[in-house]
Amino acid sequence: MVNKVNNKRRQIISGLGALAAASTLPGRLAAQSDANDTDVLIIGGGIAGSSTAFHLAEQGRNVILVERGEIASEASGQNMGGLGGNGWGNNPNLLSYITAGSVEIFKRMQLDLGYDMEFRLSGTLTAIHTEEQYEYYQDQVARLHTGGYEGELLSPREARAIEPEANSDLLGFMFSKERGQADPVKSTRAFAHAAELAGASINTGQNVIGITPLSSRGYAVRTESAEFRCQTLVLASGAWCDPLGRMLGLYIPIVPIRGQMWATESVPARVFHTIGSAESSYFWSKDNGADASTPPNLTHKSNQRRIRHLYGRQRWNGEIIFGGDRESLGYNKTPNPEGIEVNRGHAAEVIPLVASLPIKRTWAGLMPFSTDGSPIIGRISLRENLYIVSGLSSSGFGRGPMAGKLLADFIHTGHRAHVLAEANPDRCVMEA
């Protein structure tokens, strides 16, 4: 479906090669104004903001993106690089759109536009450790098939035929063939680059410190070194949406959740899928731990571990990387060695090889969790011409491309895709 649309757009932009062809772009796409005045200004150069910028600029809109660090300097550059989902299903909902739709956009960027994003539709193997988890996954697979989604239970032997390092002592694996992986930094920068080629102005090193509504409609956005003016403002600032909302007198219920990861030295190719564990999803299906201020599906609550969570893969540079913890600690981005060791033990239960590989480096980043756990994508009707694309929580790398496209299409056409109803910001954004 997305591909049909893309055939037309491919005539406008053709990836890296389009740099040379930029002069052939229609005037309003190629034109790059020096002025800091624009039609749409996007705050945040993560995957959500960069995709929004690309899809708006591609439709001929005048776009400025401001980012206080570099493109992909926060969660979008620090994540595991896993792409989720189980296909479109018979009756695609928001989750189908932002997962399967994003996979289509990853394909377009890598295969059609020529960006090297290390994208691969590798599939995911999720390890099943107990009888209870096995029964839960049997139900899940039946539910997926009823809805027209993909998913299959494999015996350890079947799993080891496609992932030789998988632990043969486990009860089984869930195989999700529609899932994939890509390099976070390369991918996010590809979107920003494509946006620039389509005429957007990408401004890094611009920390937004003030936003003022203009009497003439639109906003003045002040950074430490410049002032920009726009008709339409988009908040794509990840875990920092609430501080930016405060500049507009709004409360945006997005909290920073620390995710942390570790990597081995580079080794020859040994792990071929993205890897997960059923332990957390089974546990959260019984009690997701949410309350008024705590988002669902965290590994910790009140500084206590509730459950282990696991995701990982082998990068193209040979590093095997794993992570999983999700903890609410404010804007703290320092990795916790104890949590890393727990995660490493969990990883070794699934891929025993990693027990013998020393940890080379660790890192952490902040995921933008909405307090109700659902994405926040659309118009904030408490203010004029104000939009947001965030709340993509622990899965925003794999969901950000389509989330950005859905928002771009909404802004450009004025028509909100029906699936965005459940992401409506008005359900939760309030006057501060």
Ligand X SMILES: Cc1cc2nc3c(=O)[nH]c(=O)nc-3n(C[C@H](O)[C@H](O)[C@H](O)COP(=O)(O)OP(=O)(O)OC[C@H]3O[C@@H](n4cnc5c(N)ncnc54)[C@H](O)[C@@H]3O)c2cc1C
List of residues contacting ligand X (CB under 6 A): 43-49, 66-69, 73-76, 78-82, 207-208, 236-240, 244, 259-261, 311, 323, 365, 367-368, 390, 392-398, 400
Closer residue to ligand X, CB minimum distance, 221 or 353: 221
Closer residue to ligand X, CB minimum distance, 111 or 226: 226
Distance of closest approach, residue 53 Cβ to ligand X, in angstroms = 11
Distance of closest approach, residue 131 Cβ to ligand X, in angstroms = 28
Residue 191's nearest CA partner among 346, 5, 63 is: 63
CB contact burial 13-34 (16+ within 10 A = b; e otherwise): bbbeebeeeeeebeeebeeeee
Distance of closest approach, residue 14 Cβ to ligand X, in angstroms = 25
Distance of closest approach, residue 201 Cβ to ligand X, in angstroms = 14
Distance of closest approach, residue 363 Cβ to ligand X, in angstroms = 7
Q: How far apart are CA 210 and CA 220, in angstroms?
A: 8
Residue 251, both tokens: 């409360």
Closer residue to ligand X, CB minimum distance, 50 or 424: 50
Distance of closest approach, residue 429 Cβ to ligand X, in angstroms = 16
Query: Three-class SS of residue 367?
Result: strand
Residue 295, both tokens: 């988002």
Distance of closest approach, residue 77 Cβ to ligand X, in angstroms = 7
Residue 366's nearest CA partner among 216, 261, 278 is: 261
DSSP classification of residue 170: S
End-to-end CA distance of the chain: 40
Hey, how many other C-beta atoms are within 10 angstroms of the C-beta on 163? 23
Closer residue to ligand X, CB minimum distance, 175 or 311: 311
Distance of closest approach, residue 256 Cβ to ligand X, in angstroms = 9
Closer residue to ligand X, CB minimum distance, 18 or 322: 322
Q: Which residues contact 11 (CB under 8 A, 6 or more apart)?
A: none
Place of tokens 């002592």: 169
Closer residue to ligand X, CB minimum distance, 156 or 424: 424
Residue 278, both tokens: 């059923």
Closer residue to ligand X, CB minimum distance, 32 or 207: 207
C-alpha distance from residue 100 to each of 95, 174, 420 (Å): 8, 18, 15
Amino acid at 287: D
Closer residue to ligand X, CB minimum distance, 156 or 179: 179
Strands 304-305 and 300-301: antiparallel
CB contact burial 121-134 (16+ within 10 A = b; e otherwise): ebbbbbbbbeeebb
